[in-house]
Amino acid sequence: MRPYFTRERFGRPQFLAGALLMVFLAQALWLVHAELGSAQGLESREAIRIGEGWKQLHGRGIAGAPLTEPADESLRDPFQNNTGGFDVEHSPLIYLASSAPLLLWPHDLNANTAQYWQWLPRIPFLACGMFLGASLWYVARRLCGNNGGFIALTFYCFSPSLIQASAAWHTEPEIVAAWGAFGTIFTAIAVAHTLYAPREVILWNWRRIVLLGVALAIAIGSQFSLIVLIPMALAFLLYVAPVRRGAGTVIWLAACIVSFILFLAFYFFHTQAFTDSLRHALFWGETWRGFTVLGVYKQVAVQIGRSCPALMLALPAAIVTYSVWPRTRYFGNTAPLLVGVLFIALGMANPHLAGAGFLLAAVPFLFIFVSGVLADLLETTYRPVVLACVIALLITYVIRTLMALAQVQRG
């Protein structure tokens, strides 16, 4: 049996990547500390997430299906739900993730101990941020080598939007949806590549089938409109392995079944609440009018720039290089670019409903694309110039993010 703890799996690059992820976690923890260190208490959205999840965990109904009317008028209807009280954007997954860690707290949840237990609901989202960063590093390194992997991971670890989403700092925790979307696309691609092996692919791939099903369940459970990942996963399976399309379809169907079972588990297998929630859910809320409004394009550009200021320079340069240099136009660069552009388009089509989730989910794919093109440029005779530009860009980006974090006020 091949040993697991090898230098290939746990060498210097992995330790450096782990150090970068620890820096990412430290930044997210700083935001959580800055928010919870004040005496203002929980935000209304977080309070309702915790309350709804606590309700379901104690058998008093299903979170968000429908929402319990809070006694405090200031907390009413923060999720812009329909008149039936159902959360039209999310399954109970986010609610359960917020409240489940509180089961570990051995004392009463009162104001006197709030400075301690208020950290617990943030742990699942901090973990998702770390998992997404680790997944990004793994994929980028496999596609682009160490250079591309470190560029992509540096973009990620100092991204203001991803740090904020992981900390759930005055925002919705869309990091869960982003992780699920990233995992779905690249697990589907990985499964498709294994279909070229001369084995009994259906049984041999059972681990990846389960992983694909879990990723789909996490993504759609976090944001109903990410149901678009189901046909996207099938498209990648069929495109990457055209010679085994039958096996690819069967694997896709098996993953969908796994995803459905897990999705039903979010409702604790209460079929009535499950069907009622799906009846009220908005899986497709696109208006398409956003494409005719110039301000929407400007707003999307601003949000992408906020997610990673370095992309304002690196992304146009990468697109130009991709357009004029055929060497960069291979699947490893094209696939993340197409997914990123599609998510941006869906974000524009959903300016009020789930748009922020699509835009955040697009960012890791853009990181993969940009890092892939830059890694290709580093292999040319212009390597010294390109390397100097990349290092200068990353250093400026890192300093800017750290300076912005240092100015964050408590509360």
- The token pair that represents 54 in the structure block: 């606590």
Residues 53 and 139 in one domain: no
244 inside domain? yes
Instruction: Give dist(CA 126, CA 165) in Å, integer.
Output: 9
pTM > 0.85: yes or no: yes
What domain range is 145 assigned to? Answer: 124-406
Phi/psi for 218 (5° steps) reads: -65, -45
Residues 94 and 153 in one domain: no
10 inside domain? no
Instruction: Give dist(CA 63, CA 94) in Å, integer.
Output: 9
Residues 271 and 194 in one domain: yes
Q: Taking the C-alpha atoms of 40, 118, 408 and 180 in order, what is their torsion angle to the nearest 10 degrees? A: -130
- Any residues with CB less than 8 A from the CB of 143 and at least 6 apart, and which? 332, 368, 372
End-of-domain residue from the set 74, 94, 121: 121
End-of-domain residue from the set 100, 121, 142: 121
Residues 76 and 148 in one domain: no
Residues 161 and 92 in one domain: no
pLDDT by residue, tens only, the chain of 411 residues: 455 455 556 678 899 999 999 999 999 999 998 888 665 666 778 888 898 999 999 989 898 888 776 544 444 444 444 446 788 888 999 999 999 999 988 777 777 777 778 889 999 999 999 999 999 999 999 999 999 999 999 999 999 999 999 998 888 889 999 999 999 999 999 998 888 766 655 666 788 889 999 999 999 999 999 999 999 999 999 999 888 888 889 999 999 999 999 999 999 999 999 999 998 888 876 667 767 777 778 888 888 888 999 999 999 999 999 999 999 999 999 999 999 999 999 988 876 666 788 999 999 999 999 999 999 999 999 999 999 999 999 999 999 999 999 888 765
End-of-domain residue from the set 71, 94, 121: 121
Judge contact between 377 and 322, C-beta under 8 A. no
Residues 245 and 390 in one domain: yes
pLDDT number for residue 71 = 47
Half-sphere exposure of 168 (CA within 13 A, CB side): 27
Residues 349 and 286 in one domain: yes
46 inside domain? yes
Instruction: Give dist(CA 385, CA 391) in Å, integer.
Output: 10
Q: Which helix (H) or strand (E) holds 270?
A: none
pLDDT number for residue 7 = 54
pLDDT number for residue 123 = 94
205 inside domain? yes
Residues 300 and 379 in one domain: yes
Instruction: Give dist(CA 381, CA 94) in Å, integer.
Output: 49
113 inside domain? yes
Residues 285 and 136 in one domain: yes
162 inside domain? yes
Residues 267 and 151 in one domain: yes
DSSP track, 114-181: HHHHTTGGGHHHHHHHHHHHHHHHHHHHHHHHHHHHHHHHHHHHT-HHHHHHHHT-SS--THHHHHHH
Residues 105 and 160 in one domain: no
Q: How many domains does the chain have?
A: 2
Judge contact between 192 and 236, C-beta under 8 A. yes
- Any residues with CB less than 8 A from the CB of 286 and at least 6 apart, and which? 346, 349, 350
Q: Give the CA radius of gyration of the chain.
A: 22
Counting every residue written for the chain, the total comes to: 411
12 inside domain? no
Half-sphere exposure of 227 (CA within 13 A, CB side): 14
CA distances from 404 to 149, 167, 397 (A): 25, 15, 11
The single-letter DSSP state of residue 284 is: -
Residues 173 and 80 in one domain: no
265 inside domain? yes
Sort 117 into a burial class: Cβ within 10 Å, 0-12 / 13-18 / 19+.
middle
Sign of CA dihedral 137, 138, 141, 144: negative
- Any residues with CB less than 8 A from the CB of 304 and at least 6 apart, and which? 311, 312, 315, 344, 359, 362, 363, 366
CA 367 to chain centre: 13
Residue showing tokens 């292999």: 379
Instruction: Give dist(CA 287, CA 410) in Å, integer.
Output: 38
